[in-house]
A and B are shown apart, each in its own frame.
Chain A
């Protein structure tokens, strides 16, 4: 219950941060974070993360990767979306309720950011919806599907749906490349293009469904199911009604 409330609050904060700011989104908890936060973060890291990532964040073979280059963006993304900490290192990290509260995440992010030269939490301006549409179709649709519904990877790994991905989530994920996701550098996807993509992903949370129920936006499979089971099924019942004597 408290976790859910905290999650909601986080989402609200993230949304506020994402939408409310125009030219500078989030203040990156950069290397200049205050020493108290760093100390708090380190304490949390040792208890919660070091089993897999090592006490110094250099990673442990077969358990967890080095976090030296993960930066504030990586730490913030994994912690806020509840992907870390992970109970079993063989699992694919998936979105869930965040295990830490907002202050704790801030401290952990500051600590991880201080470990190396990883990317800060990206800050971008407002995006253009239709430009984002084109970029999304070319760069993201192959894995996340063009409607952001997600998809399948080999051997049970999944591409997450973007239904709950906040603007900040998108910005961070594109630069960090969490898990199996490739990274996109600023040369490949410029800050403006990144802003466009993030804007389009927000649109995909509630896309224009002018045709009615979206059927999960999963395309011809649910459409065929509805057409045959509901459409043809109803008609077969009609035939049953028409074709039998009163």
Chain B
């Protein structure tokens, strides 16, 4: 009786596996048709899921219901070698090694040869990148260099109304990504809002316009988020969208929240004779994230 039961169970399991594999075939053929018709990502993914999924289900059912399933116990052979074998290794090593290491002079020379090759390798490795030099401490800003928009248009103070913000770059540097990366500046019109002016920076702004490095002093993301005005809330804040460092624009872009530890460097502004905004000089400190010898 149990034999018949077992056989009919098996037949049922076999049927189930066959159905799964059949459905997998159908889905795979469907996938072929979808590809032939030009493809559509959702149909492709769905059919691929069905084809692979039914294949998986079929194999799992096959394994679980139709293959030998009784637990098998195997012995673990200890993987340590015998004491004799271990001693054999030591002896074999000593047989050759003793004679080799006796020549201490040669061993030292060989070590020196390896070290020398390592020394020589420093130079090819160094050619992977230029010496950092002062590149991290300088930007492309310089005395009299005009502030321009991304498309190269120079900026007049009147271009920015109160609470306007604009990302500017030093003129004449074109599309160079390295310049854009370290010389990007946010120009903000704070209007008549009262500013805490830092010592020596009284002449750094023009008509309520202030300019700060747009690179976060924490991890270098562009500090592009400006919380303007705001009536009764804390406002005039620059926020870094990466790690939420918050800088108070009215207080020299001092960090007031988040992980940034230093103020955003300020770019001293001036007006050119023909009425465009220019830089008085480069930044007076390195921009962006800290490195060990920044001061």
Q: Which residues of A contact B (CB under 8 A)?
A: 62, 64-65, 89-90, 92, 138-139, 141-143, 151-155, 157, 159, 177, 179-185, 187-188, 210-212, 238, 241-242, 245-246
Contact = CB atoms under 8 A, between A and B. Distances in A.
Contact residues on B (Cβ < 8 Å of other chain), bracket: 35 or more
Interface stretch (B232-240, B259-267, B274-282): B232-240
Interface of B: 41-42, 45, 56, 60, 63-65, 69, 71, 149-150, 155-156, 158-167, 188, 222, 224-235, 237, 239, 241, 244, 246, 257
A45 B69 CA distance: 83
Given A142-B225, A151-B241, A212-B45, A180 B164 contact: no
Contacts, number: 97
B65 A154 contact: no
Contact of B161 (A159, A179, A181, A185): A185
A143 B240 CA distance: 10
Contacts of A151: 225, 241
Nearest to B231: A65
A246 B65 contact: yes
Contact of B41 (A179, A210, A242): A210
A122 to B, nearest CB: 14
Contact of B225 (A64, A90, A143, A246): A143
B293 to A, nearest CB: 31
Nearest to A210: B41
Given A89-B232, A182-B164, A246-B65, A153 B159 contact: no
A177 B225 contact: no
Contacts of A246: 64-65, 69
Contacts of A157: 227, 230, 233
Nearest to B188: A182
A142 B241 contact: yes
Contacts of B162: 183
A241 B233 contact: no
Most buried by B among A89, A138, A180, A185: A180
